[in-house]
Amino acid sequence: MSTTAKPAAAREPGRTRRFVTPEGVDLRLTLGEASERAAAFLIDLLVMVAILTAITILCWAMLTGGRHADLPLPAIIWLLSFFLLRSFYFTVFELRPSNATPGKRLMGLRVAARDGGRLGADAIFARNLMREVEIFLPVTMFFAGDDQVSGWIAAAGLVWTGIFLFFPLFNRDRLRVGDLLAGTWVVKLPRRALLADLATTPAAAGPGFTTGQLRAYGVKELQVLETVLRQNRDATVREVAERIRRKIDWHGEAMPDAAFLQAYYLALRRELEGKLLFGKRRRDKHDT
């Protein structure tokens, strides 16, 4: 993935999906990026390793502590917890109401059903049982090899994991093989603060704009202007104000750039929202 900034419009539809609630409103879910998924998985892996280390130390202490030295209990505990951790760590966490493992929660992700319905236990089982062949089987193969034949098996295992590992990159919805079989996908659970409304400032002292001047731009430009005002960077504000003054042929009173933009934003939004009420959405400045 390149780090160069792409225009938001070109990037957004790629990961945004229609998701219509029973109320008939499209929530426009954003899918989790492959990088976020990988990070979440690594975090979960670390947690699993940490738990296993703790159990290993416990079992070792039981063995050397003497009291249970002759009992097979530590070995049984270790074998069982290793198995449970490996096979059910993901399942148990995703069965909880948050539908997310600790790693996914940290990355702001959760599992959801692709058809918009309830996420059933069957789907969670299906997507996580597949991990056994996607990750753990090849890893076992990889560490098993020490002679010639096993070396080839290890190589095959590596190719195998590679295919599964990069599978999400080869489909639009970033589905694992497990997601494919379970009818699930991983979506972002955004947390956004309610930003202040820019249209609050009373423009009593501000200038008036003519209708002609307010017809210079459409919704897209208005929202760019909103972003500029929210970020409030001096250089950008100056440049944008300059450009708008030129475009609308502004000869009114001289005023600071920020205040000018604020006033123009308010007037433009009033104009465009007024049209919106009559069913006319002017998408951008080229829209007539």
Partner 1 sequence: MSDATVSDAPLRDIPLRSHRFRREREAEWQRLEALLKLAESGRWGRLSDDDLLAIPVLYRSAISALSIARATSLDQGLVRYLEALCTRAYFFVYGGRASLGERLGHFFARGWARAVQGLWRELLAAFLITLLGAVVAYAMVQADPDWYRSFVPMGLAGGRDPDATAQYLRGTLYDEDKTAADALSVFATYLFTHNARIAIMTFALGFAFCLPTALLLAYNGAVLGAMVAVFVRKDLGFELGGWLLIHGVTELLAIILAGAAGLRIGLAVAFPGAESRLHSASLAGRQAATAMGGVVLMLVLAGLLEGFGRQMIQSDLWRYAIAGSTAAFWALYFGWPRKAAGAGDA
Does residue 176 bind partner 1 (CB under 8 A)?
no
Does residue 242 bind partner 1 (CB under 8 A)?
no
> In this structure, are residues 141 and 154 in contact, taking their beta carbons and an 8 Å threshold?
yes
Does residue 31 bind partner 1 (CB under 8 A)?
no
Q: Which residues pair with 286 in a beta bridge?
A: none
d(CA 75, CA 62): 10
The footprint of partner 1 on residues 246-275 (CB under 8 A) is 248-249, 266-267, 269-273
Does residue 230 bind partner 1 (CB under 8 A)?
yes
Does residue 69 bind partner 1 (CB under 8 A)?
no
**Location of structure tokens 């609630």:** 21
Select from 4, 10, 13, 22 the one that contacts partner 1 (CB under 8 A): 22
Q: Which is nearer to partner 1, 3 or 169 (CB)?
A: 169
Select from 98, 102, 142, 158 the one that contacts partner 1 (CB under 8 A): 98
Taking contact as CB under 8 A, which single stretch among the options 40-48, 58-66, 69-77, 237-245 is the one that binds partner 1? 69-77
The footprint of partner 1 on residues 177-216 (CB under 8 A) is 177, 180-183, 189-200, 202-204, 206, 208-216
Taking contact as CB under 8 A, which single stretch among the options 33-41, 44-52, 55-63, 90-98 is the one that binds partner 1? 90-98
CB of 4: closest distance to partner 1 in angstroms?
Answer: 23
Does residue 13 bind partner 1 (CB under 8 A)?
no
List all residues 6 or more positions away from 163 whose beta carbon is below 8 Å from its beta carbon. Answer: none
What is the CA 189 to chain-centroid distance, rounded?
7
Does residue 90 bind partner 1 (CB under 8 A)?
no
d(CA 40, CA 175): 15
d(CA 151, CA 134): 19
C-alpha angle with apex 32: 29 to 35, nearest 5 degrees? 160
CB of 80: closest distance to partner 1 in angstroms?
Answer: 6
Count of residues that bind partner 1 according to CB under 8 A? 85
List all residues 6 or more positions away from 177 whose beta carbon is below 8 Å from its beta carbon. Answer: 130, 134, 164, 167
Q: Which is nearer to partner 1, 2 or 259 (CB)?
A: 259
| 45 phi and psi angles, rounded to 5 deg | -60, -40
Taking contact as CB under 8 A, which single stretch among the options 48-56, 111-119, 145-153, 234-242 is the one that binds partner 1? 111-119
d(CA 107, CA 30): 13
How would you write 48-98 as a 3-class SS string? HHHHHHHHHHHHHHHHHHCCCCCCCHHHHHHHHHHHHHHHHHHHHHHHCCC
CB of 106: closest distance to partner 1 in angstroms?
Answer: 13
d(CA 216, CA 241): 14
Does residue 161 bind partner 1 (CB under 8 A)?
no
Select from 2, 3, 21, 231 the one that contacts partner 1 (CB under 8 A): 21
d(CA 138, CA 147): 17
Q: Which is nearer to partner 1, 2 or 169 (CB)?
A: 169
Site string for partner 1, 126-155 (x = CB under 8 A): x--xx-xxx--x------------------
